[in-house]
Structure 1
Amino acid sequence: MTETIFLIGMPGCGKSTLGRALAAALDYTFVDLDAQIEADEGRTIRDIFAQDGEVIFREIEARTLRKVAAQPHTIVATGGGTPCFHDNLAVIHAQGISLFLDTSLSTILARMEAAERAVRPLLAQEDLKAKLEELYTRRISYYAQADLRIPEADSDVSSVLQKLQERA
């Protein structure tokens, strides 16, 4: 397998954690899209949102996605909203295979602590559960277009590798 693998799903669903483990198992390069944006821009995602707003952030995100998408043997952990803007999902489908990490909102909510809210601008508000539900409702139609759906119960490396082999 040489194609780029894109992990999509809600914030806190485990894209970065699984992505690192998959990259190690496959001897692929791992790219966390948000971390790449921060490195390229020299500022945090939170600062980009605060200084420039979401529209500019989404343009930067789209540009960064296109830069990393063509790299073979790469696992890309996208931001939660990445597939929903600027035809990013079309780029993902053209450049590789997408995996939707379908994690329950209750699991995501349990993972989110106050410290994490500080680095996730769209979740930095009092009613985190309501915001997660609203984001999920807006984004599920994009996530559902992934090449493979990875249920929470099957989100370990060996299960994902098996699904990838079955698809090949």
Structure 2
Amino acid sequence: MTYSPKIVLIGMPGCGKSTLGKQVAKQLNFDFYDLDEEIVKTEGLEIPKIFLNKGEGYFRNLETKVLQDLLSIDRSFVLSTGGGAPCFNDNMDLINDSGISVFLDVNLDQILQRLTKNEVEKRPMFQGLDTGEIILKLQNLLAERGVFYDKAKIKLSGDDISTEHLISELMSYFKS
């Protein structure tokens, strides 16, 4: 049986999981999945509509089911998760048991710059908030989620998060 690494990117909303995930998957010639996109395909509804029509509890259970389905695929891939995915239903343990978790620890000021009006509209938790409220929300989320993010097998911090840096860290991880 061959080993098929599954690289799972976790971190705050807007930290670059999808962007970096696509780049790394292309470099490694792996498939790329975005957990939120897979949820939308499964449910036939956009994430904000799932939250609005069915509630967060329903969404989190659906998220876990789709995550389990993806992690059971028997080939290598890169997966970008939603910011809260590791924090519910023992998902972080599932991720670590099935793959190589990578926490993208990006400065909150940088995340705020990335959350354009268009991005905020796609994220139910930030809708209707002004900049100050978004900063406070991000700080509170990081305080709540940090304990889960810290369980990641690889942690990339700061401004030097790049495709090359992540691939280098993965190679070091495989050697150890």
The normalised TM-score by structure 2 is 0.93
- For structure 1, list consecutive stretches of 5 or more residues without a partner in the other structure: none
CA contact (8 A) 1:23 1:30 kept: yes
* Percent of paired sites with the same residue: 38
Counterpart residue number, 2:149: 143
Q: 1:154: Cα distance to partner?
A: 3.0
Alignment check: 8 A CA contact 1:123 1:132 kept: no
Amino acid of the structure 2 residue aligned with 1:37: I
For 1:18, what is the secondary structure of its paired residue? Answer: helix
Does residue 138 of structure 2 align to residue 115 of structure 1? no
Describe the superposition over 1:47-73 as per-residue Cα deviations: whole angstroms up to 9, x where unpaired: 000001111000000000000012221
Q: Could you tell me how far apart the structure 2 residues matched to 1:125 and 1:161 are?
A: 38
* Divergent runs of 4+, >3 A: none
In structure 2, how many angstroms separate the alpha carbons of the residues matched to 1:121 and 1:83?
A: 18
Residue identity opposite 1:140 in structure 2: G
Q: CA RMSD in A?
A: 1.0
Structure 1 CA distance for aligned equivalents of residues 109 and 101 of structure 2? 23
The residue that corresponds to 1:133 in the other structure is 139
Instruction: Tell me whether 115-124 or 141-150 shows the greater mean CA deviation.
Output: 115-124
User: Quick check: 1:96 aligned with 2:102?
Assistant: no
Alignment of 1:39-50 (within 5 A): 39-50=41-52
Match of 1:80 in 2: 83
Could you tell which deviates more after superposition, 100-109 or 113-122? 113-122
Question: Could you tell me which of 10, 15, 18 is aligned with 1:16?
Answer: 18
Tell me which moved more, 13-22 or 65-74. 65-74
Contact 1:84 1:142 in 2 (8 A): yes
Shift of the alpha carbon at 1:155?
A: 1.3
Q: Separation in 1 of the partners of 2:172 and 2:19?
A: 22
Say how many residue pairs are matched: 168
* Gap runs ≥5 in structure 2: none
SS at match of 2:89: coil
Paired residues for 1:147-162 under 5 Å: 147-162=153-168
Inter-partner Cα distance in structure 2 for 1:115 and 1:165? 36
TM-score scaled by length of structure 1: 0.97
